[in-house]
Amino acid sequence: MENNKIKLSPENLDYQSGFGNNFSSEAIAGALPKAQNSPLVCPYGLYAEQISGTSFTSPRKLNQRSWLYRIKPSVTHEPFKPRIPCHGKLVSEFNQSNSAATPTQLRWKPVEIPKQPTDFIDGLYTVCGAGSSYLRHGFAIHMYTANKSMDNCAFCNADGDFLIVPENGRLWVTTEFGKLQVVPGEIVVIPQGFRFAIDLPDGPSRGYVAEIFGMHFQLPDLGPIGANGLASPRDFLVPVAWFEQHSNPGYTIVQKFGGELFTAKQDFSPFNVVAWHGNYVPYKYDLSKFCPYNTVLIDHSDPSINTVLTAPTDKPGVALLDFVIFPPRWVVAEHTFRPPYYHRNCMSEFMGLIYGSYEAKADGFLPGGASLHSCMTPHGPDTKSYEATISLGNEAGPQKITGTMAFMFESCLIPRVCHWALESSFMDHDYYQCWIGLKSHFTHETTNEETGDVHNSH
């Protein structure tokens, strides 16, 4: 059997498009079995292997699984052993031993890229989260800083789905289903259980990761918006089959299981899938293709109008985690305070910035940085943003917000914050100062009947 003759690079990658589709792909014509999933002998002597993202008996409309036809099955490896040295900053079970509860508004400055060689696995660390991967309900929010490609190893997350948001540096992602290039301004979703490797063609890289336990991302319902808008299914891209067949003695599978890392050795690359079909797949999405909807007369729309992907709970309209963006767009509302309003939310909001600046924070919120406003913690525009907005008065014409891409991970669960995140030298301890300067603009003159005194409030 010949290996792929074309050396793939980001410039000549092909993709399939669609969200939730049943896809099929073969790197060699005829490698996919016909009329059945698991014949006695597969074409070209390949092994048939299924990966299930949902239980076998899930309703058909929710069932996710794919069939892979590979040179050697993924079971062909030595026993897993705890990884040495252990990775002390990954969490999937949030409790008082590894994290703390705080209602304080939190903000972090961008974390510096490490000087010592660090790949995606070692550069990944948990900031906050809630719930438990063991109980199959909850989420974790991680960040990563890395400067080297993964070498002769692949990562597998048995705990949940990864939604990766690069802020600096391209990611060259190799999966069992094929290759994807992901640039800042795009996202990639690697579902639970997939083996993947990340190369860094630009060297230093930094970004954000949302992980969900026990469910998968889906497109939000559009409701009164109608049939179109927000993220279009056709703009989600899925890789095409690509495989390696050469011997790889000492190849390492690094598996995240319950927040801990384990390793197993094998003598071949896990990227030996010659053909596959199914609807349980990795995919990427270009955020610039998002079609935002917005207010066209009065008031500021709730941020839910900018939801790209959602992981819903059993309670209607309540998400375990929403991925929301704040893209370039026109703002035209009349007689309206246009930035986000001051707010206390039953949901918890973790924000990041990919590029540009965020309309509600004039200072301090930088690309690669982050903020956390937990359940019922008040937040909103800083003093500079508020004063600059009201100074324009009601005569402000239409404005276009440009050159920016901020995002939010929003959850119904209350996150606990990891100790190292609270103790980080990149914690912005002066964050609260951005609101301290907000002054009273109250102009009503009270009377003796109202307060017992007469005074002007300013």
Catalytic residue set: 300, 343, 349, 373, 379
CB atoms within 10 A of CB 321: 31
Per the CB < 8 A criterion, the answer to whether 250 and 152 are in contact is yes
Sequence-separated (6 or more) residues with CB below 8 Å from residue 361: 381, 382, 385, 434
What HEC string does 250-282 produce? EEEEEEEECCEEEEEEEEECCCCEEEEEECCCC
Angle at the Cα of 128 from the Cα atoms of 134 and 403, rounded to 5 degrees: 125
DSSP letter for each residue of 321-389: EEEEEE-SEEE--SSS--SPPPB--SSEEEEEEEES--TT-SSS--TT-EEEE-TT--B---HHHHHHH
Q: How far apart are CA 312 and CA 91, in angstroms?
A: 22
Q: Is 62 helix (H, G, I), strand (E, B) or coil?
A: coil
Residue 112 corresponds to which tokens in the numbers above? 């510096």
Q: How far apart are CA 361 and CA 382, in angstroms?
A: 6
Q: Is 233 helix (H, G, I), strand (E, B) or coil?
A: helix
Sequence-separated (6 or more) residues with CB below 8 Å from residue 399: 330, 331, 332, 338
- Enter the DSSP assignment of 192: T
For 51, 272, 276, the CA distances from 69, given in Å and listed in that order, are: 11, 9, 6
Q: Which amino acid is at 410?
A: E
Q: How far apart are CA 147 and CA 117, in angstroms?
A: 6
Q: Which amino acid is at 399?
A: Q
Residue 175 corresponds to which tokens in the numbers above? 């999966």
Q: Which amino acid is at 48?
A: A
- Enter the DSSP assignment of 190: E
Q: Determine phi and psi for 139, rounding to 5 degrees.
A: -155, 160
